[in-house]
Amino acid sequence: MKSYKAAAVQMTSLPNLSQNLTQAEELIDLAVHQGAELVALPENFSFLGDDQAKIAEAEKIHHESEKFLKTMARRFQITLLGGGFPVPVGNGKVYNTALLVGPDGEELSRYEKVHLFDVDLPDGNTYLESRTVLAGTHLPPVYPSKDFGNLGLSVCYDVRFPELYRHLSQMGAEVLFVPAAFTAYTGKDHWQVLLQARAIENTCYVIAPAQTGNHYELRYTHGHAMVIDPWGTVLADAGEKPGVAIASIQPSRLEQVRRQMPSLRHRTFV
């Protein structure tokens, strides 16, 4: 693992595939020009619309999303995470899939979101992700990158389930991806503190790309894409507008925190 710059991209994705991919390309270009070698796009980067529209276009979204990720990774010579897009599985349902792609355009790792966002919020909004999404059945993988460290995958709502990240740390994760489309209502109270908790308790870097703003009708997201270090310090915060949060990932910092706070070695119940 070397020292490098990582970027968490922040988007306002819409129910418009081509427009979203154009926005994503512009933000990847911005991140690369600022020195990023590892770039992460948020959940629903290629399409954020209602369930009916998502299912109607699922085949096209899937095909174009994978093609886009592989093309961008090759063009910019980066390792690129697409934080979540629909992959059809039949019967009107999809997997919410995160895909990690290397600079040669080859797939490195894939994760199908396990925890689905089925909630009734106090602001009157109801979310029922399971209506169109089939939950994954496998724990997320850790991809061992010689350059970027051991990369653990997750998606959005997963961040509320610390046992998933303990699994990733037990598998050797050093950097945790948390791509999200966090609701505006929950995000203001929970987003940053949950990300910091996952970083602190696992002594890992966290790269958390995000959606922001109004996407359609009453669908608003919180923004604040972040990069957080293993001590829980927020290194970069993209605020509330589309953009990028970029910070250096330092193996020496990771080693220092794990040496000074060796909590992973002190676990009693495994």
Residues designated catalytic: 43, 113, 156
Tell the burial category of 18 from Cβ atoms under 10 Å away from its Cβ (0-12, 13-18, 19+): exposed
Tell the burial category of 93 from Cβ atoms under 10 Å away from its Cβ (0-12, 13-18, 19+): middle
Q: How far apart are CA 204 and CA 160, in angstroms?
A: 16
Which residue type does 131 have? R
Which residue carries 């925190």 as its tokens? Answer: 257
